[in-house]
Every structure is written in C-alpha cells, then in structure tokens.
Amino acid sequence: MTKMQFQAESKRLLEMMINSIYTQREIFLRELISNASDAIDKMYYKALADDGLVFNKEDYFIKVTADKESRTLTITDTGIGMTKEDLENNLGIIAKSGSLAFKKENEAKDGHNIIGQFGVGFYSAFMVADEVTVTSRALGSDEAFVWESTGADGYTIETGEKATVGTDIILKIKQNTEDDNYDEYLEEYRLRSIIKKYSDFIRYPIKMDVKGSRPKEGSENEFEEYQEEQTVNSMVPIWRRNKNELTAEDYENFYFEKRYGFDKPLKHIHVSADGAVVYNAILFIPENTPFDYYTKEYEKGLELYSNGVLIMDKCADLLPDYFSFVKGMVDSEDLSLNISRELLQHDRQLKLIAKNIKNKIKSQLQSLLKEEREKYESFYKSFGRQLKFGVYNDYGMNKDDLQDLLLFYSSKEKKQVTLDEYVSRMPEDQKYIYYATGPSIERIEKLPQTELVSDKGYEILYFTDDIDEFAIKIIAKYKDKEFKSVSSGDLGIEADAKDEKNEAEENDSKELFAYMQSLLTDKVKQVKASKRLKSHPVCLSAEGEVTIEMEKVLQAMPS
C-alpha cells in the first residue's frame, strides 16, 4: 500500500489559523518582538559556545519604527538573522519552529530563555498587515535575502541588501475598514502601550523614535520639535532582582505602575520558588476594598508571564476565591502553553503554583496578624467578610486554612479577637465557645440572652455579619470546643441550685404559660420559665441547629 500525504489548502489554513487562534489582534507585536528577542538570545548562546565570538550586550537591541505615510511598521533586530534556507524552512513552513529546534540542539547550555516553540507566531502579522517583507542577513554571511508574502498567495525570496547582521520585518498595515481600525498600529502611543503591556520585561532594549516639542534653548515661549530614540521597556523585571536590593518603595512603584490599585498596598509578598516548580511572583495585599469588590463585576486573578512575556491579564486559577483581593503577577518558565500562547494547555504546573501561592498568602496574613495587629485589623475590615465566605463555601473544605485568620468582637476585651485568643482565656469549667448574633455590637449588648453567660464570667463573641454564624456552623469545633449561641435552649451552664425554686415557679405559672402558648401557637413551640434572665422579663430561645438569626438570614435570601 502506498501512503498518501495529506494535502492542505495552505492559503485557507493560514487564514483560518490566524483568525481563530488569537483573540486579540494587538498580540502580533508581542509575537514579533519575542522572535527578535529569541534571535538575539541565539547570538548570546552562540557566543557562549564560540570563543571567537564576543557578545557585547550594548550592541543588541530591537527597534520599532512606524511610518504613517508609507503605512509601514518595521521591527528591526540585531539578532542571529536567517539564511535563505532558514527563511524557507522557518517562514515558509507553518508550524515549523527554528527556535524549538535551536533549544533542543542547545539543551545542555540552558536554552531556557528562548520563547518560541510553536512556529506560528510570525504569521500573526497578517492580522494587521496585507503584506509582510522580511530582510535578513545571517551571522557569518555577507549576503542578505528578502522574503515577501501577502499571506494568501505564498511567498517569494530574492537576494537583497543589508549592511549588518540581523532582521527587519516590515509590515504594510491594512487600511481601516468600517468595523476595524488599523491606523492605531501606526500610532506611537498605542505601540508603546502594547510593548509595555506584553514585552516590558524582554531583556534587550526595545527602542522607538519619540517625537515631542520642547522650549527652544535661550527662549521661554518658543518651542521646537525634536525626535529622540527612547527605550520603551523596563527590561529587568523587578521579580528577578534580588530581594535584598529592593526597597518597599520599589515594590510600591511597581504596584502603581502596574495599576494594581490606587492606594498604597498594605503588604507585598515576593516569592522566588525553586522547588518542584520554578516561578517568581510578586503579590500585594491591598488595604482598602476596591469599589466593585463585593459585586459580580469584580474579576479576581494574577498576571501570568511565561519567560517575562505576558500570557494572561487575569489568570483566575492562580487564586482561590477567598484570596481574590490579592493583586500581582507570576512568571514561570515551566508552563505548557497552547499554540496561541494565551492559554495553558494542561494545568499541572499551574495547580502547583496556585497551591504554593495560597500557602504563601496564608502565612503572610498570619504573620501580619501576629506582628502587625493594627495593619491586620485594617485588612480584616476590608476583606474579612471574604475570608468568612471562604470558610462557608466549598463545604468547608478550606476552613483549616482560614479559621485562624478570623476575628470577632469580644464582650470581654471590647475589641476584635481570634478564636485562639478566646479559647486560651476560657476558664476550665467553660464547655463552649459562646456567641451572640445581632445587627450591631450595641444591639447585642442589650440582648437578654447574654446575661447568664456574662454573669458566669464567660466571654461572648459578637456576630454582626450575616455570614458569621453560617461560617461558624461549618467550623463546628475549634480546639475541641463547640460553638454555642447564647440563645440556644441548652447553654451547658449549671444553674445555681435554684432548681427547686424554679420548679415551683414553673408550677405556679402553668396556667399562664398555657394561655400564652395558646395565643402564640403559630409563633412559638413552648413557653417556659427561664433560669437565664435577670433584668429582662422574657427572651426567645431556639432548639436545634438553625438559630433565630440564621432563620432571619435564610428568609431574606431570594429563593
């Protein structure tokens, strides 16, 4: 049997691919700059292996030039360049990656930083250009070649001229249509912002000619136009710098630059993990609740970088819901990306990173609580509710992670306390952790049900948030102590030998209680004498799991 080769309509394939794999047009620039960076990296690796070759970092750069008149956008690099064969193989065969091959050949020498691997990124240029010209001169060659294509009809290669080793990619930007604006890819500010967004941490300078006007020398009201070359990217990502060299201000600046928030962050966390999965992360705990935080519009997530190139704006999988307030970024070389480099293929590494990050946040919050109580309380005011929801959600799966981060107002301390602090103060004869529920501290203070417990000298936690009691029911027990509502039927407090008197009272009032009950048949189950009241004539108490306050919340919920 002869084996037949698949035939593909490459024209259509190219179109389909370009238009289906990328969700955002602007990433063409990320792809071309990544290729340029790879080409320079290859020079660097070659120099490592070849003593005759010196790699002077200053000689290497990427330049982006827009020309509105000719509608061209040019990406120039001083990298390794391409021979005629390279042009045919790497730009003529879709899904062939010269960079992947290079990485494999140079595995031993840490080919890690090379970004390319799928062999499709280059063609994303056709999302914004109807013609692409590549002029390249390879290292060790004095000939240059020009590759040209309009995307649909294949390509041509001719000899050309180029004075130095490297590559120019020239895009003829499409004309605007009714629905699509392409002019923006010729605007300096737009190009700058795309470079900043995706390629800020490319390790070689990305330069642009910047036009401006400035006061003429020796004159105050005359201005002159000028043009100067500027480096647009910051190059050294703060997260790859040594923690010891960085100040709190450096982190704050990064927070503002990245627009993670408008106010100062409460705390930063810098992680450089070198274990089962290698990654760097810079995380921030904000101080104030973002205005949309407790709404459906709020989107959690961290920025995700692969090798310094932005892959995702908001990777939600990196944060559990209960830490959704955390801002920041993660950079890892270990991610398996899908072909558009916008998504992750399978998420084993991501899951590991997420778990790791969760534990880091938890321990940082714990140390904040221990060492900077005031700061923690201010954090808790903003996000404590989210932690309590975290305890309640997912069937209490995360309660162990969160219960030590909770704070409740204490009747005794007259301030917020942790469960641990409460339990450590419990007198020996106290069986339960007592709590009282109400709309505010002042209102709870007036509850008749608190009297007996307080008189015993026991501390009561005040639950003023709807979620509090639900969260506590999930925790159920803390350090072997069960929680008990002061309004529950059995308080577990031994009555002070007043039993006889009580029984007598009960008997005396039998008729009255029966009468009261007959009036309240649909409202209460039973009317009886209470041992817990002192200054109040009457109170409500509940039996079973659902307390009166919980019932109120449940009834208020939309069904």
Task: Give the binding site for Mg ion (CB under 5 A).
Answer: 35, 116, 121
The token pair that represents 320 in the structure block: 């559990």
Within 8 A by CB and 6+ apart from 547, the residues are 437, 469, 485, 487, 488
User: Which region, judged by CB under 6 A, interacts with ligand ADP, from 53-61, 115-123, 247-255, 499-507?
Assistant: 115-123
Which of 36, 208, 354, 361: binder of ligand ADP (CB under 6 A)?
36
Residues 157-186 that bind ligand ADP (CB under 6 A): 167
Residues 67-86 that bind ligand ADP (CB under 6 A): 77, 79-80, 82
Instruction: Count residues near ligand ADP (CB under 6 A).
Output: 22
Residue with smaller CB distance to ligand ADP, 75 or 283: 75
Does residue 99 interact with ligand ADP by CB under 6 A? yes
Strand 481-485 to strand 433-437: parallel, antiparallel, or no bridges (unpaired)?
A: parallel
Residue with smaller CB distance to Mg ion, 121 or 390: 121
Residue with smaller CB distance to ligand ADP, 168 or 468: 168
CB of 117 to ligand ADP, least distance (A): 5
Amino acid 31 reads: E
Say if CB 330 and CB 281 are below 8 A apart: yes
Q: Which does 488 bind (CB under 5 to 8 A by kind): Mg ion, ligand ADP, none?
A: none
Nearest by Cα to 400 from 433, 362, 431: 362
Burial of 175 (0-12, 13-18, 19+ CB in 10 A): exposed
Strand 460-463 to strand 155-160: parallel, antiparallel, or no bridges (unpaired)?
A: unpaired
Q: Which does 128 bind (CB under 5 to 8 A by kind): ligand ADP, Mg ion, none?
A: none
Which of 14, 27, 33, 35: binder of ligand ADP (CB under 6 A)?
35
CB of 357 to ligand ADP, least distance (A): 28
Convert residues 37-56 into a mask of x (bound to ligand ADP by CB under 6 A) and - (unbound): --x-----------------
Does residue 116 interact with ligand ADP by CB under 6 A? yes
CA-CA distance, 61 to 201, in Å (whole number)? 13
CB of 282 to ligand ADP, least distance (A): 27
Residue with smaller CB distance to Mg ion, 33 or 281: 33
CB of 117 to Mg ion, least distance (A): 8
Which of 83, 97, 233, 454: binder of ligand ADP (CB under 6 A)?
97
- Other beta carbons within 10 angstroms of residue 537's beta carbon come to 7
Q: Which does 167 bind (CB under 5 to 8 A by kind): Mg ion, ligand ADP, none?
A: ligand ADP
Residue with smaller CB distance to ligand ADP, 37 or 280: 37
- 28-48: string of b/e by CB count within 10 Å (b at 16+)? bbbbbbbbbbbbbbbbbbbee
CB of 145 to ligand ADP, least distance (A): 12
Strand 265-274 to strand 278-286: parallel, antiparallel, or no bridges (unpaired)?
A: antiparallel
Within 8 A by CB and 6+ apart from 450, the residues are 411, 436, 444, 460, 486
CA-CA distance, 105 to 109, in Å (whole number)? 9
The token pair that represents 289 in the structure block: 């609740």
CA-CA distance, 531 to 449, in Å (whole number)? 10
Does residue 117 interact with ligand ADP by CB under 6 A? yes
CA-CA distance, 391 to 388, in Å (whole number)? 5
Rg (CA), the chain: 34
Does residue 31 interact with ligand ADP by CB under 6 A? yes
Residue 208 forms beta bridges with which residues?
64, 230
CB of 75 to ligand ADP, least distance (A): 7
Residue with smaller CB distance to Mg ion, 61 or 123: 123
CB of 475 to ligand ADP, least distance (A): 50
Which of 18, 73, 91, 475: binder of ligand ADP (CB under 6 A)?
91
Within 8 A by CB and 6+ apart from 299, the residues are 314, 316
Which of 98, 286, 384, 448: binder of ligand ADP (CB under 6 A)?
98
Per CB under 6 A, residues contacting ligand ADP are 31, 35-36, 39, 77, 79-80, 82, 90-91, 97-100, 116-122, 167
